[in-house]
Structure 1
Amino acid sequence: MTTLFLMVGLPGAGKTTRARQLADEHRALRLTPDDWMIPLFGEAEADGARDVLEGRMLRLALEAVRLGTNVVVDYGCWSRDERSSIRWLTRAEGADFRMVYLPVDDRTQRARIAHRWATTPEETFPMTEADIQDGRAHFEEPDAAELAGHGTAGPPPGWTDWRAWAAHRWPSFA
């Protein structure tokens, strides 16, 4: 069965390294926004361009699994709703969904971010202490049920389905 692997974790957790391994092991298309944001815009956010890019990548990922190609989506996906929507959309395409969560402790995260910036600054973005703290404050760690493969049953209140929610979250997904 075709599989979409979703990388989940904070910066410095090792997501992209693991995503590369999974892509090699499963002959999968790897979609990593940072690989595109740096050459296209030179920054991580670029006035909302990241959300637009992620939406287009998500459409491509779903088309690829529909065509029988494994995909590794390397977004980080800090929110439970993001993860639940991608899980639902993947399964709606008849593909298997595997969340790959890579936790990272505070000290290791900081060391990896500093090392990455010192050794490959052309492949990463600078991160301030405030950026790191903000990420930790907003990250919704997957719970046992989510790690076992169960996402939120339905979309948040006010949304008819996960596809509509995803189109709002990633405007170019619609």
Structure 2
Amino acid sequence: MPPASIYALHGFLGSGKSTLARRLEHEVPALRLSSDDWMVQLFGPDPPEEVFRSGLARVSALIRLQAERVLSLGVSVVLDEGYWTRASRDELRSWAASLNGGLGVPLFLYAVTVPEAEARARIERRNHEPGALFVSQATFSAFLPTFEALQPDEPRPVSSRADLS
């Protein structure tokens, strides 16, 4: 059996992270852990901002705990979270390196990008799907300045994908 690995997705809202995550969970195979899915299950499709912010931090911590357990059982994970900031990606790399008794777990980072207009259109379509986490255009605009693309000095992603529908 190949060693368990972490497949993490970096990209902004509507970039196609979840589409790629669903593909990877079958191709690898792996357990897909999606912060959007957990948020909807725990807080509903359109939680108020104060619930969203604190809830997302709690969901991310729970996902990390589940991922650690699954990896310890020898099963790979797909982390569908976004890793919008350099700090979050650095922390992800550090966490992966600390697993397996300090020997580390292989980490594969995928960067998923599309033009802003396409991302906005995808969000609008997704907002009408049952069970989707609602993201208004105002929320999209408010979050956009918080997104930090991969920096030149960061380890390169496994793949940069912009071809997802």
Pair in the same fold by TM > 0.5: yes
Counterpart mapping for 1:65-104 below 5 A: 65-93=71-99, 94-104=104-114
Q: TM-score, normalised by structure 2?
A: 0.81
3-state SS in 2 of match to 1:145: coil
Rounded to whole Å, the distance in 2 between the matches of 1:140 and 1:115 is 24
More moved, 24-33 vs 47-56: 47-56
Paired residue for 2:29?
27
Q: Which structure has more helix as a fraction of its residues?
A: 1
What's the counterpart of residue 41 of structure 1?
Answer: 43
How many residues are matched? Answer: 147
Cα distance in 2 between the residues matched to 1:66 and 1:144: 32
1:133 match: 141
SS in 2 for 1:123: coil
Q: TM-score, normalised by structure 1?
A: 0.77
Partner of 2:17: 15
Gaps in structure 2 of 5+ consecutive residues: 158-165
Q: How far off is 1:18 after superposition? A: 0.4
- Look up the SS of the partner of 1:56 in the other structure: helix
What pairs with 1:87-166 in structure 2 (closer than 5 Å)?
87-93=93-99, 94-118=104-128, 120=129, 122-148=130-156
Q: CA deviation at 1:147?
A: 4.5
Q: Which moved more, 1:140-149 or 1:58-67?
A: 140-149
- Paired residue for 1:63, among 69, 90, 93? 69
Contact 1:29 1:72 in 2 (8 A): yes
For 1:63 and 1:88, the matched residues in 2 are separated by 17
Q: What is the distance in 1 between the residues matched to 2:56 and 2:4?
A: 26
CA RMSD of aligned residues (A): 1.7
Structure 1 position 53, deviation (Å) = 1.3
Aligned-pair identity (%): 29
The aligned amino acid for 2:82 is G
CA deviations 1:54-98 (Å, max 9, x no partner) are 101112112222321100011111111111111111122121001
Larger mean Cα displacement after TM superposition, 32-41 or 51-60: 32-41
Q: Runs ≥4 in structure 1, deviation > 4 angstroms? A: none
